[in-house]
Each structure stands twice: as C-alpha cells, then as structure tokens.
Copies of this chain bind each other. A is one copy, B any other.
Amino acid sequence: MDAPRYRTRNSMTKAFIFEVLATDGKARRGSITMPRGEIRTPAFMPVGTGGTVKTMYMDQVRGVGSDIILGNTYHLMLRPGAERVARLGGLHEFARWPYPILTDSGGFQVMSLSKLRKLTEKGVTFRSHIDGAAYEMSPERSIEIQGLLDSDIQMQLDECTALPAMEKEIERAMELSLRWAERCKTAFGDQQGKAMFGIVQGGDIPALRLRSAQALKAMDLKGYAIGGLAVGEPQAVMLEMLDITCPELPADRPRYLMGVGTPGDILKSVARGIDMFDCVMPTRAGRHGLAYTRRGKVNLRNARHADDPRPLDEESDCPATRDYSRAYLHHLVRSQEALGAMLLTWNNLSYYQKLMQDVRAAIEAGAFDVRVAEISEGWARGDIPVM
C-alpha cells in the first residue's frame, strides 16, 4: 500500500475534489476525494460489467488495492435494469462495493453489441442483444440511468468511431459528441460529491482532437476522458493523440484514458499525463489462462508449467500469486476449472494494482523514468527459466 495515504484538507468534505500532489515530467500523482472514498491516481479501475468483477469477490477487488471500479451502463440497463437497481438501493448496495464507482455512458456498447441501432441527433434507438427488446438512449437518458445506478463518476454519452475511419465520419461523430456533452452537462446539473466527465473524440486526426478538447474544456467539466483510442489503431497513433490532447486539457482536472490497456500502454500514458484507466484485459486474460507478472505475461496453458511446483511469483503478497504452484494453475486452466479463472484474475488485478502503486510511488520520488525503465526491463527479461 502507498504509505502514508494522503490525507488532504478536503478529504472529509462532501465535494468532488481533484488535487495534483506531485508531478514528474508530465506524469502526475494525484488524489480524487469524494464522499465514498479517495481515488489515488494514477488509478486503474477494474471492470465490473454487470455488477460483478468477473470471478472475484469484492473484498478481493478491494484487497488488491482498488479504489474504484467501473460499471457498464449498457449491461446494467438491460439486466437487471436501472430502475430495479435504484429500488434495491443503487449499484453500491446491490453489488456490495461501498467505494466509488464510475459508469460509462452505455454508448460504446450500444454501438458494438446491440442490434438494429439507429442514431439520430436525439440519441440512439436499439434492440437488446439479450432478448431483442427495444430501448432508447439519449444523453438525458444515459445520465438518468447513471443516476439511478447512483454512480459517482458519470460519463457523457458519445459516439465512438472505430478506426480506421474517414475523416468526415470522425468529425461528424466528434461534433455530435460535443453537442451531447452539453446536453449531459445540463442533465447532470450540479451534484455535490459526484462528477460528470466529458469525452474527447476525434479519432486519429490531430486537428479534430484539438477541437474536441478545447470545446470540452470550455464547458468547465469536473473531469475529462479521452475516448475512441485503443480501438484498432497502432500504439504510436494512440500516444500521438495523447501528446496532442493532454496539454489542451485543464491541469487541475483528472484525465481518464478509456479502455486502456496493457501494462506497457499504461506506463506510456501516465508519462503523457493520464490519471485514470480501465480495461478488461486483466480480468479477461485471467479467464483465458494468462497471468500478468513483473516478468511479463505468462501463459499457464503451456506444458512447461505442468510439473513446476513454483508459484507465479514467490515475492508477491497476493495469495493467488504466491501460494499456488504453476503446476496446479496449469492443471486448473487445462481442466477448465473455475478456480483457475478465479486465481488468475486475482493475480492479474493484484499485478495491475501493484503496478499503479509502483507508478505513484515513483512519481512522488521524482524517479518515474528510472522506475519505468526497471519495470520494462523486468518484462523484457521474461519468465523464470524452466526447471
């Protein structure tokens, strides 16, 4: 754990407060305080799609060092339904996670998962991928749903363009997203202790990213996300867009890079001034036999582990990482036993959160670049030799 935890002047208030506590180059060590708890940034948010971080108990999610989790508005509105979650006391009560929750707007999944969607200025109409039922999603309805879920950090509805795409199409979606940001801001109003973030769009076109960032900045929102990246473009393009976008965003607001990413993506994005991340990678990889470690990614399906009594990493304090043999993990993965996914997901979230803790400490110490080099060397050296 980061020790001592920062206790700021504002930590006991009912407000949403972001403070930059230290910087190292463009990398920022910060803190968001809000009624449900503190978020130490740079922060990684595990994805709890349908009110559960898959295969994990919430006390494990918290135990590995998570300050905030992400909920998917699209999934939750379809099942169990936003009004039902509200009747049951909100998403925190429903899923037994009393700490901050960020929800996406639902737009991304409406576009990627639902059937027969139709997009207009007003919003999107679509059919559920589960039962084909018809739904309408507008900026106002998205904020309403996120309010019913009692989400602490809510996202504007946006239109995210998959890359590669035509510039005209990217521009149209970006301009629509700006108009929807205004409507979401109005719908959200002034809620103490909560925040609504705008989302920078503009694909891989620098001028469009600039225009989007500047227009959103003028709206004076509590935080800014960068969307529409890690959607098929090379990493270099993503990093170029961050180089262009981050300086345009106000320094005193948190910056959230949506859906990113690998540990390497995260280090490179922190170096460019990003404060928050979410990604399904650690949880999804855990269900597919892959372990993230300080020695890089380890595929437990490989036969090399079948007779290996050593744990993934004997120096970890995470039981999944330290106490179970690779031979046992290999067996569980090969046998498709639930415990394999449970243990590897636990390991992966633990590794991601240790990485963020490491990053935060390095920024505080003014040693970010050195630490990034060490971490990257560890990955490059690779896994321990076969016994």
Contacts and interface: CB of A to CB of B under 8 A. Distances in A.
Interface in A1-58: 50-52, 54-57
Interface in A304-362: 306-307, 309, 323-325, 327-328, 330-332, 334-335, 337-339, 341-342
Contacts of A50: 331, 335, 337
Contact of A331 (B79, B325, B342): B79
A121 B373 CA distance: 67
Contact of A325 (B88, B332, B337): B88
A306 B83 CA distance: 12
Contacts of A52: 332, 337-339
A350 to B, nearest CB: 15
B94 A325 contact: yes
A301 interface: no
Contact of A95 (B80, B84, B87, B328): B328
Of listed A324, A331, A341, residue having the most chain B CB within 10 A: A331
A324 B59 CA distance: 13
A335 B55 contact: no
Interface string A96-114: 1000000000000000000
A323 B331 CA distance: 32
A282 to B, nearest CB: 15
B324 A96 contact: yes
Given A80-B306, A96-B324, A342-B342, A331 B51 contact: yes
**Chain A's interface: helix, strand, loop or mixed, by majority?**
loop
A89 interface: yes
A88 B338 contact: no
A109 to B, nearest CB: 14
A320 to B, nearest CB: 10
Contacts of A323: 96
A86 to B, nearest CB: 11
Best-buried of A56, A334, A337 by chain B (most CB within 10 Å): A337
Contacts of A334: 79-80
Contacts of A338: 52, 54-55, 338, 341-342
A301 B314 CA distance: 41
Contacts of A307: 84, 87-88
Nearest to A75: B335
A89 B337 contact: no
A327 B55 contact: no
Nearest to A84: B307
Nearest to A336: B50
Nearest to A323: B96
A80 B342 contact: no
A73 to B, nearest CB: 15
Contacts of A327: 80, 84, 88, 94
19 contacts: A51-B328, A51-B331, A52-B338, A55-B339, A55-B342, A56-B339, A57-B339, A80-B327, A80-B331, A84-B306, A87-B307, A88-B309, A88-B327, A89-B309, A94-B325, A94-B328, A95-B328, A96-B328, A338-B341
The 8 residue pairs across chains A and B that have the minimum distance between CB atoms: A55-B338, A80-B331, A52-B339, A52-B337, A50-B335, A88-B327, A88-B309, A94-B328
